[in-house]
Amino acid sequence: MFTAKKVFIQCLFTIVMLGGVMEVHALVRSFKFELINSLHTRLCCNKTMLTINGQSPGPTIYARRGDLVIVDIVNRADQNITIHWHGVKMPRYPWSDGTNFVTQCPILSGKRFRQRVILSDEEGTLWWHAHNDWSRNSVYGAIVILPPKGETYPFPKPHAHHPILIGEWWKADVQQVMEEFLKNGGDPQMSNAYLINGQPGDLYQCSTQDIYKLQVEFGKTYLIKLVNAVMDNIMFFKIGSHKFTVVGTDGAYTKPMQTDCVAISPGQTIDLLLEANQPPSHYYMAARVYASGGDFVTIPTTAIIEYVGNYTPPPSPLLPFFPQVNDSATSMNFTNQLRSLVNGVNVPKKVTRKLFFTLSMNRRLCLESYCLRATRLASSVNNVSMLLPGVDILQAYYRGISGVYTTDFPDFPPSAFDYTKDAMLEESSATRLGTAVSVLEYNSTVEVVFQGTNIAGGVEHPMHLHGYSFYVVGSGLGNFDGIRDPPNYNLIDPPLMENIVVPRNGWISIRFKANNPGVWYMHCHFERHQSWGMKMVFIVEDGEQPHEKMLPPPPDMPGCDAPPPQLLFRI
């Protein structure tokens, strides 16, 4: 009863795509996701955790471009949940986006919610995950989107494809780790292991038996669908003795790029072709943490590529040689080389709304009686640390409920300063708590420059936008220069992404056309930064035409009966 039940109904329907109308033969595919507390053993210890259908990673959703996926979420666990379809644009339908207190209130224990996951132009790999508290740690899975029937890949058809999800394991209960972290206002307790498809692998205790194995035949090519589902780190990914070819990221194809090392940020997906062209044997597929600071587990998580055939495998495969844990050049260079598949992509050339967002780590005073220390860590966008409201912003916007949010999210930081200089004055670190949204006019062409700052020490920030893909047109180290940098933008073949790592003490420039009306969250995909407030919301207004307006909500939207998170956790 726990297997995802697929119901195929052949039908013809018209999808109003972002930017045009396209007729496709699309399918409706239905899945049932039951959230339960289930028992799992890793690193020689048992623990009960939240899963979908008892599995972590949860079920893979297979679909074709343009399909409609209907997922019935049934909450049979003792905690509230929301499920987000990471990278699915949901044209005009933010109601299914699944972002806690932004597009919906949580599905309470015992309740259910039917989500319509509306695929449009995405093709490749995306993923789904819980989007409340830190429950995405165990509640996540892959979404594999194949070309429509009769269409082919922009590369020779691979023999098979395999989702590979990099995850993370705490021996402790993750909800407790989060609550502890929010209470004490400092850094969280670190995790104990990283995982490939749910297993730490044979370099960790008690995982040799269950290590993930991928069987390959010599001479065949496999499409690996890599997802970084870890909570707080960019990961390096390598395969022993093999090179491979990156062909896509974030549900869009890229120009083929040969490499032997991937740097993948939390939230990001990478499609790569692996040719089984080495002497038949066992090889490691492994991922290791990249971090410019912090004290993270550095043991690689491993899986095994097993050639079929008759041979004597080595007692243990050779571990690929990884870059240094803090090798930011390798991490940055990988991302900088990504290019859209074709030249002359539809990137906005004229920008009608320019935004400049500083991303900062902050310290803020905490003088109330509940404060365990006088200064707490915080993080912010343009010196605003976002608080989630008690009623979701989408509902408040749609129904005109006042007092839930303000519309004064600043287009620029409150004052300009040398963002990346060495010793940063604490004055610039003042952050205000609030629920401020930025309103975008329908069809405006938006540029966001993300500027990393060195307040309280600079780190990377993998920024993620809901409801859109964006073109990454520029990047650099140091301070963005509005005169010198834009002439160097790539407006020919910039990669189309929904996650981009803003380099440590550097900047990134993205562009998109605001043609998907709704309420869309943007945040750092490092979970601890998100909890500290590095998040904001865009409201994209309706257009004039009926097909440019948000669709109405489904009848079973969850009610807002849970206490607002900031009251519970005092963030």
Q: Which stretch binds ligand C2O (CB under 6 A): 21-29, 36-44, 380-388, 517-525?
A: 517-525
Distance CA 562, CA 111 (A): 12
| Cβ contact 387:101 at 8 Å | no
What does 526 bind: Cu ion, ligand C2O, none (CB cut-off 5 to 8 Å by kind)? Cu ion
* List 253, 283, 521, 538, residue binding ligand C2O (CB under 6 A): 521
**Mask: binding to ligand C2O, 436-475, rule CB under 6 A, as x and -?**
----------------------------x-x---------
Residue 399: CB minimum distance to ligand C2O, A: 23
Q: How far apart are the first and last CA of the chain?
A: 40
**Mask: binding to ligand C2O, 234-273, rule CB under 6 A, as x and -?**
---------------------------------x------
Which of the residues 64 through 93 are near ligand C2O (CB under 6 A)? 84, 86
Give phi and psi for 83, each to the nearest 5: -120, 125
**CA-closest candidate to residue 126, choices 87, 68, 96:** 87
- Sign of the four-CA dihedral 44, 49, 51, 53: positive
What does 65 bind: Cu ion, ligand C2O, none (CB cut-off 5 to 8 Å by kind)? none
Residue 334, C-beta contacts closer than 8 angstroms, at least 6 positions apart: 259, 261, 262, 263
Residue 529: CB minimum distance to Cu ion, A: 3
Q: Residue 523 interacts with ligand C2O (CB under 6 A)?
A: yes
| Cβ contact 18:176 at 8 Å | no
Residue 99: CB minimum distance to ligand C2O, A: 6
Cβ atoms within 10 A of the Cβ of 280, count? 16
Any idea what the Cα angle at residue 62 is, between residues 289 and 88, rounded to 5°?
A: 70
Q: Which two tokens stand for residue 95?
A: 């109601």
* List 129, 242, 364, 504, residue binding ligand C2O (CB under 6 A): 129
**CA-closest candidate to residue 521, choices 57, 73, 94, 50:** 94
Distance CA 92, CA 101 (A): 18
Residue 465: CB minimum distance to ligand C2O, A: 9
Q: Residue 529 interacts with ligand C2O (CB under 6 A)?
A: no
- Cβ-based nearer residue to ligand C2O, 82 or 479: 82
Q: Which stretch binds ligand C2O (CB under 6 A): 115-123, 192-200, 289-297, 518-526?
A: 518-526
Residues in contact with Cu ion by the rule CB under 5 A: 461, 524, 526, 529
Burial of 426 (0-12, 13-18, 19+ CB in 10 A): exposed
Strands 160-169 and 193-196: antiparallel
- Cβ-based nearer residue to Cu ion, 378 or 496: 378
Only one residue has tokens 């749910």, namely 198
Residue 86: CB minimum distance to ligand C2O, A: 4
- Cβ-based nearer residue to ligand C2O, 225 or 466: 466
Residue 72: CB minimum distance to ligand C2O, A: 21
Interface residues with ligand C2O (CB under 6 A) are 84, 86, 99, 129, 131, 267, 464, 466, 521, 523, 525
